[in-house]
Chains A and B, each alone.
Chain A
Amino acid sequence: MTAQIPRILSSLAVAAMAAACGGSFSEIPIETPLRPKLDVSGFESILVAGFIAGGTDDVDGNLETTRLLRSQLRNQSDMRIVDSDVLPLIEVAIESRTISDTSTEREDPLAPEPILADEDLAQYEHLFANVDYWKQIGEEYQQPLIVTGTVMFASQDRSGTVQRDQEVYDSFGRRSVVPVRTYLERTGFVLRPRFIFIDGRTGAVLYSENFREEVLYNANQTSPALSSYFELMDRLLPSFLSTLSTQTIRGTRVLLQ
């Protein structure tokens, strides 16, 4: 019964709109196929290699993202999913930087610097352009399509003055709505992943895509970081999957006469 309420409300809304428009109409369910953004026909397998992750310490963005994408791809993709250890990409990036840049004067050039903001990711970006490294990884795993990238998951504070509508009644009992500005303490999380698809045969980047999702809670609400992470990943997974395979989006439209 509860599940039917939104459907009933939707039908009532459509009926009200029909009355307003004065025309004949009929609702129809549709299924929209979204073609994949990337041609993956040349690959038999896919390797979610790992990610350079930063932000909060409460969630290991590298491990969790790799695990989640592998499990989603197992259900949604026809390609074989390579099971391997998650690559420690930060260490690999530092090593390759140290080899190429001998002028580094840091005390311990191999010690990873904390990634707290998007700017901190820049020092590791060169890894994704390292064709030799990715070609070597490709050879190791029978030349799969490689998925890698960066994941920034951080807490955020959005406290401030917000405007909202409030009902007021005058001395005659007449109702009206007035905008009221109130101070609201809100905290939450922001997730900014960048997925990079690399050809395991050549080591070259085929495609990359940035996402941004955020969630805010009132101060009296608490949500564990990991559950917020999954909530935000859940929102962008259809877009990620639509890069590799055809996705069908179900919906309803109104036909007019």
Chain B
Amino acid sequence: MRPVFKLSIRFLVLFLVFGTLDVAPLVADARDDARQQVDFGIEVAQRGLWREAIYRWERAAVIDPTYAAAHNNLAIAYEQDGDLGKARISYERALALEPGNVFITQNYELFREINDRTNPQNTQ
């Protein structure tokens, strides 16, 4: 076997062993941290503290941008805040991450009903 090829395989093996060992916990940690933020956000939102909930879910979305639940919850909080533009962006991110999630789809459809009222068919 050619030495260069041998070296490449060795690097690949090293990357697979140490690379995944290093990255996998990081990903899991990020999701765990984000989940803690999401859970706390839900707790405070249920007590009507929506500002704090927005802060928590925004942090969750930064910690783990692939966490669809964080974007979904954030969209709901933006709706409650009357910021329909931000709500749309968050719903669309959540749906892009989990296209088959029926909860996100249902939330988004309900949101669109409201959002359509603010976009008249014809204005001057």
Contact = CB atoms under 8 A, between A and B. Distances in A.
B118 A28 contact: no
Contacts, number: 87
B107 A254 contact: yes
A71 B123 CA distance: 24
A132 B107 CA distance: 48
Interface string A6-36: 0000000000011011010110101111110
Interface range on chain A: under 10, 10 to 19, 20 to 34, or 35 or more? 20 to 34
A37 B72 CA distance: 26
A257 B69 contact: yes
Given A35-B82, A238-B117, A251-B110, A30 B46 contact: no
B69 A242 contact: no
A30 B80 contact: yes
Interface stretch (B7-15, B21-29, B98-106): B98-106
Given A207-B124, A210-B120, A25 B103 contact: yes
Interface residues of B, number: 30
Interface of B: 35, 38-39, 42, 45-46, 68-69, 72-73, 76, 79-80, 82, 84, 101-104, 106-107, 110, 114, 117-118, 120-124
Interface of A: 17-18, 20-21, 23, 25-26, 28, 30-35, 37, 194, 205, 207-212, 238-239, 242, 249, 251, 253-257
Given A26-B46, A257-B35, 14 more contacts: A32-B80, A32-B82, A34-B117, A34-B118, A35-B82, A37-B118, A37-B123, A205-B124, A211-B121, A242-B118, A254-B72, A255-B42, A256-B72, A256-B73
